[in-house]
A and B are shown apart, each in its own frame.
Chain A
Amino acid sequence: MALITDFDSGLATASWDRVRDLFALDPAATHLNTGTIGAMPHEVVETYDRVTREWAGSLANIYPPSLYPEHRALIARDFGVDQDEMVICHNATEGISRIIAGLDLGPDDAVLTTTHECFSVLSNFNLAHNRFGVSVDLVTPPSGPDVTAEQVVAAFEAALTPRTKVMAFAAVTLYTGTRMPIRALCDLAQRHGVITIADAALMPGVLDVDLRRLGLDFMAGSGSKFQCGPLGTGLLYARNKVFPEHNPLPLPRFWPVVSTWYPLLGDMPKRTTTSVETCNLGDYLQSAGSASIGRAAALAKACELWNRIGRRRIEERALELGWHAKRRVVELFGEAALYSPLHDARLHAPVVAFKPFRDPEDAWNINKIMAFVDRLEAEHRIWIRWVEFPVPGSPHAHYAARVCTHLFNDHDEIDRALKVMARLADEMS
């Protein structure tokens, strides 16, 4: 569990109405699309503005501060790891790109991932395929209200081959909002000596996780979605120590492909085989020329604010709202409408995907779902998004409405929004 620092008893017990006031949100709008973009708290905006102004015209040496040692140390602690393992980057895509490009992958290797990954994962693996000849094996994970963690793990296990060198999966899938059973998947991977990568675009700021305990090798997360930092911020975690109780595998060979500090001659210091750091890999990754000090400071402020509210408290709130949204979806649209897991709480995330229309064929109608989302925004000021993904056994691309709940939402607005969606879907059906 993450360590909570700078505990602020005021916010730690504040009502959710008061918490909502922290955010620069339009009171007339219903923001249920945090999976695409979060809402920055006023404090975060102010920090961004203040730090940017402080550095405007400054002649100070930017290079030490642009390694963000303090910010990284604090944020790393939030995720149960250390400064040498945490990097502030520009977004989850950049993080994933640097992870994939940094691995030693060749024509004898295969990567196992899913068809439910973000473009940035699939495109970068395809790039690695074209560049290095690595095979990319895809599984389409099961989806729907009855899916279980065991089924998800079994789908991966069935697709593992002796060539599999990497398993990559979303921490929370952006299409069906499935919280992947990360620890179980890492156990599976470790049994086969396989490196694990989590695309955690939808994890930081909502799931209170300890990356070390999860057993992951790499994670790339967004700073601007559930963490509600500024656009253009992300987190990259690269395991840099060996804690056998969490992940006994040796550290994978890794190249910091975007790096100013990589040695001009020779190699980086040897990386450790124990729990004691011997090489600050985070610094090699973090040093990438000039950096946006304002944005990093604002992200750090967002993380600090989260700690004051309480990360566990935020997770519970967002998940409870997500569960509430699921129950309402079941009431209004029927359980069969859900693409998200329902009965296995281990797979719950505050992301709910469902088919709003009665006619099954409308699940394959991109125009209808696009019109639905557009009308929610234009006529009702409700922000959600539509998603498209394959479903095992179906020849069609499926299109779903996706609702994300976060700490600034409340039960009433979710109820109201879903009722509006039900009415609109009826009208459009």
Chain B
Amino acid sequence: MSSSEPRRGGTLRLYGPGSMDHLDPASAYYALGHQVIRLFARQLFTYPAVRDLRDWRAIAPVPDVAVEVPTTYNAGLSVNHLTYTVRLRRGVLWDTTPPREVTAHDFVRGFKRMCNPVCGAGAIRYFTSTIRGLAEFASAYAAAVPHADATAAELADFQNRNEISGIRVLDPWTLVFELIRPASDFVHVLAMPFASAAPVEYDALVPDSDRFRREVRSNGPYRVVDYDHGRFLRLLRNPVWDKGADDVRNQHVDAVEVVMERADPVEVGRRITSGAADLSWASPVTEPYDANPTDPGNDLGYALNPYLVFNTVSPNNGGALADPGVRRALAWAFDKVAVLDIYDRLAAGTVMRPARSAIPPGNFGYEPFDLYPTPGDRGDPDRCRALLAEAGHPNGLTLTFLHRDVDANPEVAKSCAADLERAGITVDLLPMGHADYYAHLQDPANAEAGAWDLTSPSWTPDWFGDNGRAFLQPMFQTNRTRGTSNYGCYSNPEVDELIEEALATVDEDRAHRIWHRVDELVMRDAAIVPVLEHAPTIPHLKGARVRNAIPMPTIDRWFDLSNLWLEQAP
């Protein structure tokens, strides 16, 4: 069989040190999770796999469970752009016994679940600031069920007794969303995996609990049959999935297996080239290249990878990190080129540069500026030390630097720690497994307890094009609820207000100016230190039998597993 024709069969094997943050679509907010969720949880809209990143269709949502993208001209979008009528396609089935159709009620349940106070959506603000009544629903939910160890019955009781006023079910196949204000990116927001349908069976499950992970249901081409968090994942074909009801995905391989274990990129690469695995799971192992790659997406929105987050609510050092003056002092310290060299040695295969702003190039609202310029981006520890003294800490600080214990992360942490130590700061490195890292950051209780002071995550835009809010809203708008992506609990009322102002305007130029102003403010406050900006795709190494592996910018450059197939081993 030719490699251009899909072959059915085989088990796709991924191997590496990564982990999903959550299996539950309501809370999963990490690219690896989204790569897997695409296989079993469907949204109203999603992104197609398009090989050429310069093709605008690669970043444009298409109907998934919806019949069509609502427009004024198909009567799906009201003239004032405040009402979206979304019609659902028939024949999308849950893998329940007996199989049952996915309905509008399942989507409403999904929207309610993303507000749950146990393990909610990391970018809940996308939704609460857009859909009428969702903020009120989320607040009431948090007030009614204030404890993080709520039972499934408590959660279901609230969800089933309360409605979101701006989401209405006209009939099982028609959903109406009423917005607070026009949002030209609303279809992108609905394409987030948070907005997946949720079957009634989830009323009996605590979000992302062990039991949820055992009983998670599928309406996609694969279903989870075995999940050991941070260790192993196996998906098999969903027998009730019908290609006739899914324009986006396929079901070429029989099974998908992910083995998650500590391994360095060399080991991951060795497994793939030897045929013991097909694809990397998290390790940046790239196809061999001779010349440095060019940007494959013509400046399609870059990612921040890594950036440093300060825990602004840390009680350590007498609460020093709450002081913007202290954070500003620290922001001068870092040698960004040293971190770039670490990635270069990994042969990451992508275009990367030192980053200076919260919004990196190619994203809406980006303007080049640098509030902390140092010669050659090498950092200025002396200036850091001096400013720290001015801020009342002449004897330095002691900071806990939390980092993932895999891939380049330990080296990056060491490099940053060395920079800080040159400025007279003591750094305690705190490694953490990939499986726990993001979940740890998403719980503000850990930040409040001072479990960490500084950490180095990465951030890729949730969508491209009209994405002004895709960095600033989840990363910087006040959000101290479980599941938050504002890991350092940064809060500035002026920033919050400007974000709302940017969202409130339909004037693109004005919105651009406001997003840039927010960028300037968060950089002035040194809420983060941008370290590197990365082009949105990377030539990941593929095993010899992998065909049609298409990297998706919306899942941080990882492959669309639902459309690739495996050639038979020679």
Q: Which A residues are closer than 8 A to B by beta carbons?
A: 115, 119, 122, 129-130, 364-368, 370, 388-390, 395-397
Report yes or no: B83 in contact with A397, Cβ–Cβ below 8 A: yes
* B166-177 near A? 1/0 per residue, CB < 8 Å: 101011001010
Closest to B82 in A: A397
Looking at the assembled complex, report how far the CB atom of B135 sits from the nearest CB atom of chain A, in whole angstroms. Answer: 14
CB-contacts of B63-94 with A (<8 A): 72, 75, 78-80, 82-83, 85
Closest to A117 in B: B79
Known contacts A366-B85, A367-B171, A395-B132, A122 near B79 by CB under 8 Å: yes
Contacts of A390 in B (CB 8 A): 78-80, 82
Pairs A–B under 8 Å by Cβ, sample size 19: A115-B80, A119-B79, A130-B508, A365-B170, A366-B75, A366-B85, A366-B176, A367-B170, A367-B171, A388-B79, A389-B79, A390-B79, A390-B80, A390-B82, A395-B132, A396-B83, A397-B80, A397-B82, A397-B178
Contacts of A389 in B (CB 8 A): 79
CA distance A217 to B333 in the complex (A): 65
Looking at the assembled complex, report how far the CB atom of B334 sits from the nearest CB atom of chain A, in whole angstroms. Answer: 41
Contacts of A396 in B (CB 8 A): 83, 178
Contacts of B79 in A (CB 8 A): 115, 119, 122, 388-390
Looking at the assembled complex, report how far the CB atom of B167 sits from the nearest CB atom of chain A, in whole angstroms. Answer: 12
Known contacts A388-B78, A390-B78, A397-B83, A364 near B72 by CB under 8 Å: no
Contacts of A388 in B (CB 8 A): 75, 78-79
CA distance A292 to B241 in the complex (A): 54
Contact of A366 among B72, B132, B170 (CB under 8 A): B170
CA distance A390 to B178 in the complex (A): 12
Q: A129-B507, A366-B174 are in contact. List 14 more A-B contacts (CB 8 A).
A: A366-B75, A366-B85, A366-B170, A366-B176, A367-B170, A367-B174, A388-B78, A388-B79, A390-B79, A390-B82, A395-B166, A395-B178, A396-B83, A397-B178
Looking at the assembled complex, report how far the CB atom of A370 sits from the nearest CB atom of chain B, in whole angstroms. Answer: 8
Contacts of A130 in B (CB 8 A): 508
Contacts of B166 in A (CB 8 A): 395
Contacts of B178 in A (CB 8 A): 395-397
CA distance A119 to B74 in the complex (A): 13
How many residues of chain B get a CB closer than 8 Å to chain A's CBs?
Answer: 19
Report yes or no: A364 in contact with B80, Cβ–Cβ below 8 A: no
CA distance A365 to B83 in the complex (A): 11
* B503-520 near A? 1/0 per residue, CB < 8 Å: 000011000000000000
CA distance A368 to B82 in the complex (A): 19
Looking at the assembled complex, report how far the CB atom of A280 sits from the nearest CB atom of chain B, in whole angstroms. Answer: 37
Closest to A386 in B: B75
6 nearest A-B pairs in the assembled complex, by CB-CB distance: A397-B83, A397-B78, A367-B170, A390-B80, A366-B85, A367-B174
Looking at the assembled complex, report how far the CB atom of B495 sits from the nearest CB atom of chain A, in whole angstroms. Answer: 27
Report yes or no: A364 in contact with B168, Cβ–Cβ below 8 A: yes
CA distance A191 to B78 in the complex (A): 34
CA distance A96 to B406 in the complex (A): 62
Contacts of A366 in B (CB 8 A): 75, 85, 170, 174, 176
CB-contacts of B171-220 with A (<8 A): 171, 174, 176, 178
Looking at the assembled complex, report how far the CB atom of B528 sits from the nearest CB atom of chain A, in whole angstroms. Answer: 33
CA distance A115 to B165 in the complex (A): 23
Looking at the assembled complex, report how far the CB atom of A368 sits from the nearest CB atom of chain B, in whole angstroms. Answer: 8
CB-contacts of B355-375 with A (<8 A): none
CA distance A115 to B170 in the complex (A): 24
Contacts of B78 in A (CB 8 A): 388, 390, 397
Closest to A389 in B: B79
Contacts of A395 in B (CB 8 A): 82, 132, 165-166, 178
CA distance A122 to B170 in the complex (A): 28
Closest to A130 in B: B508
CA distance A135 to B274 in the complex (A): 63
* B144-170 near A? 1/0 per residue, CB < 8 Å: 000000000000000000000110101
Looking at the assembled complex, report how far the CB atom of B507 sits from the nearest CB atom of chain A, in whole angstroms. Answer: 8
Contacts of B174 in A (CB 8 A): 366-367
Looking at the assembled complex, report how far the CB atom of A89 sits from the nearest CB atom of chain B, in whole angstroms. Answer: 22
Looking at the assembled complex, report how far the CB atom of B81 sits from the nearest CB atom of chain A, in whole angstroms. Answer: 10
CA distance A388 to B85 in the complex (A): 12
CA distance A395 to B165 in the complex (A): 10
CA distance A370 to B79 in the complex (A): 17
Contacts of B72 in A (CB 8 A): 119
* B427-441 near A? 1/0 per residue, CB < 8 Å: 000000000000000
Contacts of A365 in B (CB 8 A): 170
Closest to A129 in B: B507
Contacts of B168 in A (CB 8 A): 364
Interface centre among A119, A130, A397 (most CB of B within 10 A): A397
Closest to B87 in A: A367
Contacts of A370 in B (CB 8 A): 75
Contacts of B83 in A (CB 8 A): 396-397
Contacts of A115 in B (CB 8 A): 79-80
CA distance A396 to B75 in the complex (A): 15
Closest to B168 in A: A364
Interface centre among B79, B168, B507, B508 (most CB of A within 10 A): B79
CA distance A122 to B78 in the complex (A): 12
Contacts of B132 in A (CB 8 A): 395
Looking at the assembled complex, report how far the CB atom of B256 sits from the nearest CB atom of chain A, in whole angstroms. Answer: 38
CA distance A368 to B92 in the complex (A): 24
CB-contacts of B480-516 with A (<8 A): 507-508
Looking at the assembled complex, report how far the CB atom of A34 sits from the nearest CB atom of chain B, in whole angstroms. Answer: 21
CA distance A217 to B132 in the complex (A): 40
* B273-317 near A? 1/0 per residue, CB < 8 Å: 000000000000000000000000000000000000000000000
CB-contacts of B504-548 with A (<8 A): 507-508
Looking at the assembled complex, report how far the CB atom of B525 sits from the nearest CB atom of chain A, in whole angstroms. Answer: 32
Looking at the assembled complex, report how far the CB atom of A393 sits from the nearest CB atom of chain B, in whole angstroms. Answer: 13
